[in-house]
Each structure stands twice: as C-alpha cells, then as structure tokens.
Amino acid sequence: MRKPRPVGLIVSGRVAKPYLSLLKLLGDRLGPVKAPAARVASRMVNRLGAGYPVVGYEGLDAAGLVLLCVEDSRLLPQISREMAASEAAWERHSIMLCHPVAESTGMEALAARQIRLASLWVPEERRGAGFMAEGDRRTIREFRQTFGIPKSAIRVLRQGGKPVYRAGLTFASSLVTPLAAGAVECFRAAGLNPPASYAMLEQAVLGSLRAYRKAGKKGWPGSPGNAGGQFEALERLDPALAEFFLTTARLADERLGRSGPLGSLHRRHRIDKIPGKHSGEIDPGGDIEG
C-alpha cells in the first residue's frame, strides 16, 4: 500500500486549544511546519513532538493536506499573498484554514489560482459535539479521512456561507435576548414572581419553536387582534418598551407576510408624534391631509 503523504502545518500566532488537540492526533503523519520565524516553527515541533521545521513555503511541497492555523484573521490576506508568491506547488495541496470566523474566501490570492481551499472550526453552539466546515468538498473529505472523523461529525456549509450562518446564530441567540427581557418585564409588571416569569417565558418560546418547526412561517398567526390594547397598556407602563413592542411586531408582520392590526397602529403612532398632526387627520385611505 502506498504510504500517505504527510500533513503540513502553517502557524501564525497562538494555536487555539481545539486545533492543538487535533494536531497532536497526527503523530508521525505531521511533516513540514512553517511559521513566521524558524524558532517559532521549531518550538511548535517540540510542543507537538512530531514534524520538522521548514523556512520557506516551498518546504511544504512534501505534504498533501496543509493546515493553516492563524490567530489574527486580519493577517490572512497577507499570508495568502505570501503563499501565492512563493515557489510552492499549491495546486498539489489541499489547504484547510482552522479559524472560528475567517473563511476560505478570505484567501483571495490563493483562490484566484483555483487552489483547493476550505475552513474548519469547532462551534461553541454545538458544545464541542463535532465540527463545522465550508469550502472545497475534496479538502474537507481529505481532512476527515486523515483524522478518522465520521462524516456525521462535520456539518458542511457552502463555500462562503460562514457569515450567513453566523448571522443565523445571531438571530437565534443575542437578538432573542431583548425579546426575552421584554417578555419577562411584562410578566413581572403583571404580577408574576421571577420564577413564574421565567417558566412562562420558556413555555412560550418552546411553543413558538415547535409551531415553527412543524409548519414554518405558516405556524406564526401574526400579531394578535388585541395588540392595540397591549400596546396602550405598555405605553402607560414603559413608553420605550411599548415602542420596542410595536416596532418589533410590525416588522414581524411584514417579514412573515401577515397583515395585522399593528401596521395601522404603527402609522397612527408615528403621525401622532408629528408636530401639529394627530390621528384624526388621517383620511380613510391612510394619507395625511395637507
């Protein structure tokens, strides 16, 4: 059987713990190690107990798969240009970038030469259960086979899909927090104690998620018919919270294609804020009379 080609490593800055753990699994499969300085490459070799330092990128030509561990993603374009300008035969390699945010499309100088590029990261949202990857499928397959990782343990995005994926995480995490805080504030103002408020929040959120998972956008009924009364009660309690409620509900109606009472309520609320205007000056068509 033909001996597999060694795995190359390019290091810039500190190597994060998840990737360091992966590198230690390579053992004798680790070959050339490149760093900004020879002493840094030697130090990494000593730390891993495998591989050998090389000075130039050309020294990586013995490898097949090349792992690129960059701490500061802002240096990635510069590193990519240096790699592309070298005499290394990158067409013979598969390059896997190990970074939680940067992606394969950030290596523009190499991408312009049709080099096989992908990126890999250990997502915190999966609590250490597997990996995420994007980019060239052959590179991802070679990485998986090299480390003996089951196909089910790596979720693969389309190339360039990492920013959109992370936007999805923002929707599902940090953008949910203000809504949750608003709900709890309402529950507390209505007379529930904190434990009951949080229990009600969890029950309501899980119910909404189950409805969405079952029916998609159709599982969302739109803003309730008595939303106007809810808004008025909130305005007496906390005008800023009322404004947040109204704006969020209106945007939700628009985004999910449901026409509800909040659209006209929002328009009246905005007009009431215009000096010299009030809701009585709206004609039946919804225009402001001049």
Per-residue pLDDT in tens (0 to 9) along the chain, 290 residues: 578 899 999 999 999 888 999 999 999 999 999 999 999 999 999 999 999 999 999 999 999 999 999 999 999 999 999 999 999 999 999 999 999 889 998 888 998 888 999 999 988 766 656 899 999 999 999 999 999 999 999 999 998 899 999 999 999 999 999 999 999 999 999 999 999 999 999 999 999 899 889 988 877 776 666 777 888 999 999 999 999 998 888 888 888 776 655 555 555 555 455 444 443 333 333 333 33
Q: Is 55:87 a contact under the CB 8 Å cutoff?
A: no
Neighbouring C-beta atoms of residue 173, cutoff 10 Å = 10
CA distance linking residue 288 with residue 204, whole number of Å: 39
CATH number of 7-160: 3.40.50.720
Phi, psi of 52 (to 5 degrees): -150, 145
CA distance linking residue 134 with residue 155, whole number of Å: 9
CA distance linking residue 77 with residue 122, whole number of Å: 22
CA distance linking residue 65 with residue 142, whole number of Å: 7
Specify the residue for token string 């808004």: 231
Domain residue ranges in the chain: 7-160, 175-220, 223-290
Residue 130 falls in which region: left (phi positive, over 0), alpha (psi -120 to 50) or beta: left
Instruction: Report in angstroms the alpha-carbon separations of 102 from 16, 69, 97.
Output: 14, 11, 8
Closest CA to 31 of 70, 67, 2: 67
Could you tell me the pTM of the whole model? 0.78
Q: Is 111:131 a contact under the CB 8 Å cutoff?
A: no
Q: How many CA atoms lie within 13 A of 31 on its CB side?
A: 15
Q: What pLDDT shows up at residue 82?
A: 94
CA distance linking residue 288 with residue 147, whole number of Å: 67
Query: Which residues fall within 8 angstroms of residue 210, CB to CB, at 6 or more apart?
Result: none
CA distance linking residue 136 with residue 122, whole number of Å: 18
Q: Is 22:147 a contact under the CB 8 Å cutoff?
A: yes
